[in-house]
Every structure is written in structure tokens, then in C-alpha cells.
Amino acid sequence: MKGKKTFWFATTSFLVLIMIVSVIGIKHHETVKAKEEQEEARKVALEREQSLEQNARSAVNRLFASDKLLMLNDNYSEDLNKKAQQLIGQLKNKKMKADLEKKRLRAEKFEKEVELSKQNVAALFTDETKRSLAQHVTKDKLDGVKQAVLNSTPQAKTKLELKRDVEKAYQLLASQEKARKVAIKKHRKNGSQKTRTIGSESKSGAFFWDSNRQEKNRTFSSQEKSPVLKQNESEQKRAQAVKHRNHCSENELSCAYKPNHYSCCEWY
């Protein structure tokens, strides 16, 4: 009996030991597996974060023409900017997040400068056809807009387009100035001709008026003479005719009396 009890005790102890070892083994395996899963999850999260950082960095870089970040990309758009903003917002790396956001805001600043240059150039023309200049556009204003386009338009494609528009504005201004000078010259020429015409008409009118006045004075003087004065003039003319006739030879000429012409001698 005593041997059997010892056997069963030993067997039971062995089984319990096996069970304890099994449980410990299972727990260890589970712990190891959990750690492996955590490590895998950490790696996945890290890869995801790295991928997100890379995508955010690429999205920000696409906003600029080069890595120097001095000019906007010619393909810049609001959609690209919003996408970059969303990616930056998902980053966990605070330092990188702040750096990329600063660059994105720089791109927004460039965009505003480009839009301002576009507005300044558009204001030079009456409409989008750009066939006529707006009012009060001077060479000084064009020079200022040109400098703004060259120095404050951080986008190559837009700068080139705006430079062409400004040159077109210069051409339109030159055409306006040429037309203005022609109009002034024509106006002066017409004014000079009109002045000469008025002067000639004034002289003719004055001469005509003076002649009429003299004629009227003579007529008036004749009408104003009294009958006695007229008789005296007639007697004086007769006396002159008689005196002249006495000097004439009787065989050669005869002085005939003609009314209002007493000094006329006629040959026979």
C-alpha cells in the first residue's frame, strides 16, 4: 500500500508539474507573440508615419518650382495646397509638421503676390480683350507696374505672360500719343486757316464799308450844296471856257460848250 501511494503521489506531482510547465509555456508564448505583434504594429505605424511624412513633404515641394522655394510651381493650384495642408495635419512629428507648414504658408504668400501682379496688369486695360487702355494710364504708371511684375511675381509662367501684357500696354500708349499729336497738329492747322479766312473777310468788309462811306459822303456833299453854290460853280466854269476860247485861233479851232465839260476844245 505504501508503495502504491508513493507511486500515485509521484505521478500526480509529475502531472501537476507538466501542467504548470505547460501553462508557463503557453503564457510565455502568448507574451512573446504579443510583443511580436506590438513590434509589428510599431513597425507598421512607423512605416505609415514615414510614408505620411514623405507624402506631406512631396506635396509641399510640388507647390514650388525648385527645392530653393523661391518660385511657385507653374502648376500650382488651390487643390494642391489643400492636399498638402491635410497631409501636414496628420503628422505626429511636431518638428517636421511645423517646418512643412511654414513652407506651405510661404507658397500661399507667393500666390497672393502673383494674384496682385495679375490685378495690377489687368487694371491697365478696359476689359479682358486688352485692346484698349483704361483711363489715366501713363508711362510712369506702366513703369511701376512693369517693375512690380519683374520683382514681385514669383511664378515664371505668369511673369512671362504679364510681361507680354505690359509690353502691349506700352504699344497702345504709344499709339494713343501718336494719335493725340496728329489731332493737335490738325487742330492747329484748321485754326490757322480759320484765322486767315476771318482776317481776309474782315479786311474786305472794312474796305467795302470804307468805300461805301466815301461814296455816301460824296453823294451827301453833292446833295448838301445849295442852289447858289451850284450857280457860282456853273458861272466859274463858263468863264474858264471863254478865257480858254480866246486863246484859241479863230481859223484853227472852235471851242464848243458842252455841259459839265467847258474846257474841251475840238478841231474842225
Query: Is residue 12 included in any domain, yes or no?
Result: no
Question: Quick check: 36 pLDDT over 50?
Answer: yes
Question: Quick check: 193 pLDDT over 50?
Answer: yes
Q: Averaged over 111-115, what is the pLDDT? A: 97
Does 97 lie in the same domain as 144? no
* Cβ atoms 155, 71 nearer than 8 A: yes
Q: Averaged over 91-104, what is the pLDDT? A: 95
> In sequence order, what DSSP letters do the residues of the chain get, joined into one string?
-HHHHHHHHHHHHHHHHHHHHHHHHHHHHHHHHHHHHHHHHHHHHHHHHHHHHHHHHHHHHTTBSSTT--SB-TT--HHHHHHHHHHHHT---HHHHHHHHHHHHHHHHHHHHHHHHHHHHHTTBSSTT--SBPTT--HHHHHHHHHHHHHS---HHHHHHHHHHHHHHHHHHHHHHHHHHHHHHHHHHHHHHHHHHHHHHHHHHHHHHHHHHHHHHHHHHHHH--HHHHHHHHHHHHHHHHHHHHTS-TTTEEEPP-TT-TT-EEE-
Q: How much of the chain exceeds pLDDT 70, in percent?
A: 68
- How does the average pLDDT of the chain come out, rounded? 79
Query: Is residue 213 included in any domain, yes or no?
Result: no
Does 144 lie in the same domain as 105? no
Q: Which of 111-120, 160-169, 175-184, 229-238 has the lowest mean pLDDT?
A: 229-238
Does 263 lie in the same domain as 191? no
Range of 178's domain? 136-198
Does 249 lie in the same domain as 184? no
Does 192 lie in the same domain as 151? yes
Whole-structure pTM value: 0.59
| Higher-scoring residue by pLDDT: 22, 54 | 54
The contacts of residue 176 (CB under 8 Å, 6+ apart) are 133
| Higher-scoring residue by pLDDT: 77, 195 | 77
Question: Quick check: 266 pLDDT over 50?
Answer: no
* Cβ atoms 103, 135 nearer than 8 A: no
Q: Which of 168, 198, 228 is the last residue of a domain?
A: 198
Contacts 24+ apart (CB under 8 A), 13-19: none
Query: Is residue 247 included in any domain, yes or no?
Result: yes
Query: Is residue 184 included in any domain, yes or no?
Result: yes
Does 105 lie in the same domain as 39? yes
Query: Is residue 210 included in any domain, yes or no?
Result: no
How many domains are there within the chain?
3
Does 104 lie in the same domain as 41? yes
Does 251 lie in the same domain as 194? no
Q: Averaged over 88-114, what is the pLDDT? A: 96
Task: Give pLDDT, residue 27.
Answer: 76
Query: Is residue 169 included in any domain, yes or no?
Result: yes
pLDDT band at 6 (very low <50, low <70, confident <90, very high): confident
Say which residue the cell 502648376 belongs to.
75
Query: Is residue 158 included in any domain, yes or no?
Result: yes
Q: Averaged over 218-230, what is the pLDDT? A: 50
Query: Is residue 241 included in any domain, yes or no?
Result: yes
